[in-house]
Structure formats: C-alpha cells, structure tokens
Amino acid sequence: MRAVVYQGPKDVSIEDVDEPEIQHPSDVVIDITTTAICGSDLHMYEGRTDADPGLVFGHENMGVITEVGEGVSTLEEGDRVVAPFNVACGFCRNCENGYTGFCTNVNPGFAGGAYGYVAMGPYQGGQAEQLRIPYADFNALKLPEGDEHEDAFAMLADIFPTGWHGTELANLQPGESIAIYGAGPVGMMAAYSADIKGASEIYVVDRVESRLDMVEEHTDAQGINFQESDPVEQILDAHGDQVDKGVDAVGYQAIDPEEVRDNPDEPYDPAKENPAIVLNQLVRTVRPTGQIGVVGLYLPVDPGAPDEMSAQGRIGIDFGKLFEKGHKFGTGQANVKQYNRQLRDLIIEGRADPSWVVSHRVGLDEAPEMYEKFDNREEGVTKVVLEP
C-alpha cells in the first residue's frame, strides 16, 4: 500500500510499504478514509527528534473496518470509526482513570503511545491506505455510516479533544476569560472549545494573519498579533485586567516576538525561537491563582542529545513569578478518549462543527508539498487532511 514515509529532515515521500495485518486478537484493520497532518508531525519532519527514516507518519486517523480480530466484540467489518491518536490498552491504572494519554502498557518505558510517532511505540502511522488499530474495542470510536461530517469527525482523532483538553487543564468555567497562545489548529480548537464552554472573553495570540482571521471568524475570540507589540500588554489593555485562565498551544517551537518584530513578512525561522517565551508570557497574562493548560509540546531532555535538542525540554521559566502568582499548571498528551464520544455527539447533533479549521483536502501524493507549506506556516494553510 502507499504511505507517507519519513526520509530525513524536511523530506517525506510516498512509498510502497507492507499492508498492516491483525497481530493480536484485539486488533482491527481499517481502510483509511481521512488522515490529517499535525503540528506534532512537524517536530519529526524538521529533524528535531531522532525519528528513523522509514517511519510512516500519521496519528490522526479515521476509516472503515476491513478486518476484525477474533477477540473484538463490539466492532464489525464495515463500521466507520475514528481512532484517538493515543494508543491505549484500556485496563492499566492510568487508562482506568481516564488518562489514556499516559497508558503504561502500550509502550513500556515511556508514558503513552501513538501511531506513527518516534518514541511512542511500535505503531505504524495512518498517512497510508490502511492502519492497524490495537485494543480496538477500546480505541475505535464508532461513527454514523456514510460520509457525512467527514472533516469534522476527523478532528476527533486529536485536535478537537486536544484543544478541549487545554481548556480542561485550565479548568475553564463558564463566564471566565482565557488567553490562548498559538492559533495553529490546536489553538483554534482550544478557542472553539472555550466558546462552547461559555467563556466570557477569549484572546488568541499568533502572528499568522490568516490564522487569526480564521479563529475570529469562527469563534468569539479576539486575535492578538504578537508581531505588533508585546502580546501580554495587548491582552491586558484589551481586557483591562489579567485573564482567568490560559492555554499554551505553541510548545517549545515558540518564535520570540522581539526577533521578528521589525519584519512582518519574515518567514518562519527556527533560529528565531525562544522555547520558554510562551510559558513566561502566560504567567504574566493569567491572574494570581489562575490556571494554565499546556498542550503545546515540549520534548523530554535526552541526556545524550546535543544542547539544542535538550533546550527543547529544559527551558528557563521564571519560577519566582509563578510562585508569586500561585498558578496551577497542567500539561501532557491529551486523553482523547475522555472527550471524543461527547464531542462526536455534539457534531452529530449539530451543536459543534470543527470542520472550519480544515483548509485543504488532498490526495496522498500531495502530502510532501503540504508538509512543506504547513511547516512554513504559510498563510491560508491551517489543517491539511489527506484522502488516500
């Protein structure tokens, strides 16, 4: 079958790879109908991890079941399903408590597993024609038959639950104000979630105008362009005070506003990053005793890695300011399974439709080109879905 295969930094290609097979009685195999490119893929794409060439990317997957393991009891051939990006067993202590992003069985030695992701276990990605879903009764969420809401349901694999998770980690309550750093697909879904949850005011910070326009069009958020001036000051001015809650939907790849201030047209450049900037800005933005959800990704420090790589996990937070303000922080992989059923039902009932975040639906052959554009955070390129 054809698949998107990592070749090395900034290089993916479409290759023929082995078709997945049932490996365990609890597996199913699906024909992929939609699979999305994620900001999380870019860490590997840019060569910032030690992903090996040959890895099939893709952790945001949905499709139709073609093969069913003999131990599977609730699914059958022909079922349309979406798989959380987390691979989870369903019965370890963390899964039992809903923390499916931290399953201790699927990937020994590392908290959590995912499809097509370095260090996240032996699970091939779904940017391909087919995918094996382990522990399928637990991991495959059934969808209505047909092809209605295809883009919206595809967002249930990751970014809609992940954006929701950001607001959960921040314990956002109706009527509270919130600042979200990052208007990538995850930040947009955090803003959308805040909207659904009844936030009183939502601020979303980024520099890509088309992304800020998009989130303003589809939610009640106010866009804040960090390129113009200090985003914290802009939010304090607009809101008249510090906000109740905050979300980091950027991660260590944060561009330092000072580095790009004089040139609005400057393209995305990793040399202009400051991995600690967003966390420190959030501490300044959120009121004392407020709460902050960090869903943007920070990579663990690898003792053997070169300094630049360690810098992606070991960063300088003003802990004194954090101490002064007594913030609570939550972070980590989103426990997609905790939310995807309810979010699916909001879509089915017409009360939510996250498909607005999708900017491109293309065939697998166009994946290399779309990786490049998404990686450059090109204007107008937000969420790219692939249709194998």
Question: Site residues for ligand NAD, window 304-343 (CB under 6 A)?
Answer: 333-334
Nearer to ligand NAD, 150 or 158 (CB): 158
Residue 162 and residue 331: Cα distance in Å, rounded?
11
Examine residue 40 and tell whether it contacts ligand NAD (CB under 6 A): yes
- Of 388, 380, 378, whose CA–CA distance to 42 is shortest? 378
β-strand pairing of 80-83 with 86-87 = unpaired
Residues in contact with ligand NAD, counted by CB under 6 A, come to a total of: 31
Task: State the DSSP code for 113.
Answer: E
Which residues are within 8 A (CB) of 147 and not within 5 positions of it... i.e. 6 or more apart?
33
162 binds, among ligand NAD, Zn ion, none (CB under 5 to 8 A by kind): ligand NAD
Nearer to ligand NAD, 155 or 364 (CB): 155
299 pairs with which residues across the strands? none
- φ, ψ of residue 323 to 5 degrees: the values are -60, -45
DSSP assignment letter at 387: E
Q: Does 72 bind ligand NAD (CB under 6 A)?
A: no
Report how far apart the first and last C-alpha atoms of the chain are (Å, whole number).
Answer: 10
CB 13 within 8 A of CB 5: yes
Binder of residue 206, out of ligand NAD, Zn ion, none (CB less than 5 to 8 A by kind): ligand NAD
Applying CB under 6 A, does 246 fall inside the site for ligand NAD? no
Range in contact with ligand NAD (rule: CB under 6 A) among 26-34, 90-98, 176-184, 314-322 = 176-184
Q: Is 100 in the site for ligand NAD (CB under 6 A)?
A: no
The partner in contact with residue 189, picked from Zn ion, ligand NAD, none with C-beta cut-offs of 5 to 8 angstroms by kind, is none
User: In the complex, what is the shortest distance from the CB of residue 146 to ligand NAD, in angstroms, rounded to a whole number?
Assistant: 27
Smallest CA-to-CA distance from 127 within 376, 352, 363 is with: 363
- Exactly one of 68, 87, 95, 249 binds ligand NAD (CB under 6 A); that residue is 249
Asked if 158 and 60 count as a contact pair (C-beta separation under 8 A), the reply is: yes
For Zn ion, the closer CB: 83 or 89 = 83
Would you tell me which residues interact with ligand NAD (CB under 6 A)?
A: 38-40, 158, 162, 181-187, 205-208, 211, 226, 249-251, 254-255, 277-278, 295-297, 333-334, 377
